[in-house]
Amino acid sequence: MHQMTIGGKPVPVAGTFDVTDPATGEPFAQAPDCTPDQLDHAMNTAAEAFRTWRRDDRTRREALRGAADALEAAIGRLAPLLTAEQGKPLKDARSEIAGAVVWLRYYADLELPREIVQDDARGHAEIVRRPLGVVAAITPWNFPVTLAMWKIAPALRAGNTVVVKPSPYTPLTTLALGELLQEVLPPGVLNVISGRDPLGALMTTHPVPRKISFTGSTATGRRVAAAAADDLKRVTLELGGNDPAIVLDDADPEQIADRLFWAAFRNNGQVCLAVKRVYAPEHLHADLVEALAARARSVRVDAGTAEGAQLGPLNNRPQFDRVTDLVADALRQGALAAAGGAPLDRPGYFYQPTVLTGLTDGTRIVDEEQFGPALPVIAYRDLADAVERANASPYGLTASVWSPDLDRAGQVAAELEAGQVSVNVHGLGVRPDLPFGGHKWSGLGVENGPWGLYGFTDLQVLTRPAQP
Ligand code: TXE
C-alpha cells in the first residue's frame, strides 16, 4: 500500500479507505486515513523544516531540479497508477505527469529580481518577498498530479514547506509522489497525507498553516475561505467555471470543430477550464452542431488501459450521476442529443460524448458547471446578446472567441469577464509562466508564473537611511 510521508518517512497506517477504479466501479486499493494526531505531526514537522528550508535559495532551486529529474524518471511507473485511480487514458496520464515535471523545472529556473525602489544619496529602500511558513495544499481528482505541482513547486521555491492532501478519489499517485520525492528533498519539506473530506476541513482550521492553497468546487472553496478567515490565513482558490466559447458569424465550423471539440471533451470535460457552453450564430449553428457531433460519435471511449482509448470513464460515481442528471434534465426540457445522451452500457462510470442542441440559457446544463462529456451548443441572433449571456454567469474562469477576423475577435474577447480569454483556441494560456485564476466565483488569487509564487509570500520592505 502507498503510505503517507511525514518528515521524510513513511507513516504507520492507522486506518484505511477504499479507492475505486472508475473503469469498473469496484474498489481496487486502499489508502491511509490520516488521524488527527498524524495531521498534527505533519503540520509540526513542516513547521520545523521551514526554519532551515526558507534560508537558502540555491539549495531550494537545486532540490526542485532534483525533484524534476526524479519525477521524470518515474513517469513510466506512476502513469498506470494515475490511470487506475483517475480513469484517464495512459497516454494522458503520462503527459499529466510530464506536465508536473515542466512546472518543477520552471520554478527551479525562475529568477526573482531584487526590487530596489530607492538607492541614492538619501537612502535605500528594497522590497523582499518572505515565505509564509507552512502551506496546506488541497487538491481535486481531475488532474491530481499537475494541480498538486501547481502548488508544491512555487510554494517550495518561495521557501515555504508543504502539507498536501489529495482528493479521496485519487490519493494514490500523490502518495507515491511523496514517497518518491523524499530521495531529493530534505525531511519535512514536503509531507503528503490522505483522508476523506473532513481531513481537508481539519487542515483549514489547523493553527499551523499560514496559507491554504485549494483547487476544487466553488461550494467547498467558500468553506475553505470561511475557515481560513478566523486565523487570517492566506488563501488561493481555484474553483469551478462555466466557460463560454463564442463563435462569430465568419467562422468556418468544419475548420474550428476539432479544436473546439477537444477543448470541451479533453479529460472527459473534467477540466476547470473546459469549454462548457458554445454560442453559435443561427446560420452556422446546425453545421457546427453536426461537426461537433460527428467528432463525438467517432471518439473511442474505453478503459484508460485499453489500447487506443481517447476518453476514459468519469472519475467517480457522484460526478457520473451529476452528468447523467444534467443531460436527462436537458432532454426533458426539449433539448436534442445530436450525439450521445446517455451512459455507456457497461460497468464503470462511462458516458457517451454528448452534444446537445435545441436548448438555451435557463437550462441547468447551460447555467451550471457540468464537468463532464456533454456540451450544449446554443444559437444566437445578436452578438451583443451572446456576450451578455456569456457574462451572465457567476463564474469567470476562461473564455474563447472564434473568428478569422482577429481584430474583431479581440474586441469581443475584451468584453468577456474571465481570467483568461483566448482567440481561435481555448485554454492556450495554461502555461507555467502565465497567471491562472478566476474572476467572480471561479476563484481568488492566481497560480503559476511569478504571480503564483508571490501568492506564497508576504511583502517586506527593508529601508535604511544613507550612510553619513
Ligand atoms: O470537489 P470538492 P468534489 C467541481 C466540479 C465537481 C464538483 C464537486 O463541478 O462536480 O466540483 O467535486 C477537499 N475543507 N470541481 O466534491 O469537494 C476534498 O477532499 C477543505 C471543479 O470532488 O471541492 C478534495 O481534496 N477541503 C474543480 C478537494 O477538497 C475539503 C476540480 C476538492 O473537493 C472540504 C474538481 C472542506 N470542507 C471539482 N471538503 C476545478 N476547479 O477544476 C472537501 N475537501
What's the number of CA atoms in the CB half-sphere (13 Å) around residue 126? 11
> Measuring from atom 28 of ligand 1, which residue has the nearest CA?
140
Nearest C-alpha to atom 39 of ligand 1 is from which residue? Answer: 197
Residue nearest to atom 11 of ligand 1 (CA): 217
Any idea which fold 243-431 has?
A: Aldehyde Dehydrogenase; Chain A, domain 2 (3.40.309)
Please determine, looking at this structure, whether the domain spanning 5-239+442-464 carries the CATH number 3.40.50.1950.
no
DSSP bridge partners of 278: 245, 377
The DSSP code sequence of 401-452 is EE-S-HHHHHHHHTT--SSEEEESSSSTT-STTS-B--EETTEES-BSHHHH
Tens-digit pLDDT profile for the chain (468 aa)? 899 999 999 999 999 999 999 999 999 999 999 999 999 999 999 999 999 999 999 999 999 999 999 999 999 999 999 999 999 999 999 999 999 999 999 999 998 888 999 999 999 999 999 999 999 999 999 999 999 999 999 999 999 999 999 999 999 999 999 999 999 999 999 999 999 999 999 999 999 999 999 999 999 999 999 999 999 999 999 999 999 999 999 999 999 999 999 999 999 999 999 999 999 999 999 999 999 999 999 999 999 999 999 999 999 999 999 999 999 999 999 999 999 999 999 999 999 999 999 999 999 999 999 999 999 999 999 999 999 999 999 999 999 999 999 999 999 999 999 999 999 999 989 999 999 999 999 999 999 999 999 999 999 999 999 987
* Cβ atoms 238, 272 nearer than 8 A: yes
CATH 3.40.605.10 residue spans of the chain = 5-239+442-464
Cβ neighbours of residue 180 closer than 8 Å, sequence gap 6 or more: 70, 71, 74, 78
Grid coordinates of 365: 446544463
Ligand 1 pocket member 397 (CB < 6 A): no
- pLDDT of 112: 84
> Which residue out of 217, 235, 275, 365 has the highest number of ligand 1 atoms within 8 Å of its CB and is therefore the one to mutate?
217
- Nine-digit cell at 5? 510521508
- The answer to whether the Cα torsion of 225, 226, 229, 230 is positive or negative is negative
Q: Is 139 in the pocket of ligand 1 (CB under 6 A)?
A: yes
Q: Write down the pLDDT at residue 175.
A: 98
Q: 0.85 cut: is pTM over it?
A: yes
Helix (H) or strand (E) holding 16: strand 16-21
Give the mutation target among 143, 167, 266 for probing the ligand 1 site: most ligand atoms within 8 A of CB: 167
Nearest-atom index, ligand 1, CA of 139: 25
Atom of ligand 1 nearest to the CA of 316: 22
- C-alpha cell recorded at residue 376: 450544449
Q: Amino acid letter at 71?
A: L
Neighbouring C-beta atoms of residue 459, cutoff 10 Å:
10
What is the C-alpha separation between 239 and 279, in angstroms, rounded? 23
Does residue 61 line the site of ligand 1, with CB under 6 A? no
- CA 267–ligand 1 middle distance (angstroms): 17
Does residue 239 have its Cβ closer than 6 Å to ligand 1? yes
Domain(s) of CATH 3.40.309.10: residues in the chain = 243-431
The closest of 386, 442, 340, 364 to 244, measured between CA atoms, is 386
Closest atom of ligand 1 to 140 CA is: 32
Give the integer Cα–Cα distance in Å for 456 and 460.
Answer: 13
Q: Where are the alpha helices (DSSP H) in 159-210?
A: 172-181, 197-205
Q: How far is ligand 1, taken at its centre, from the CA of residue 168, in Å?
A: 10
Q: Which of 251, 282, 238 lies closest to 412 in space, CA to CA?
A: 251
Residue 219 CA, ligand 1 centroid: distance in Å: 8
Report residue 425 CA to chain centroid gap: 19
Q: Is the CB of 270 under 6 A from ligand 1?
A: no
Strand segments (E) across 95-231: 115-120, 123-131, 134-138, 161-165, 190-192, 211-215
For ligand 1, say whether the CB of 437 is within 6 Å of any of its atoms.
no
The catalytic residues are 238, 272
The reported pLDDT for the residue numbered 1 is: 87
Per-residue DSSP letter, 242: -
Question: What is the distance between the alpha carbons of residues 152 and 135, in angstroms, rounded to a whole number?
Answer: 9
Distance 256 CA to ligand 1 centre (A): 32
pLDDT at 270: 98
**What is the C-alpha separation between 147 and 175, in angstroms, rounded?**
14
Q: Which helix (H) or strand (E) holds 288?
A: helix 282-298
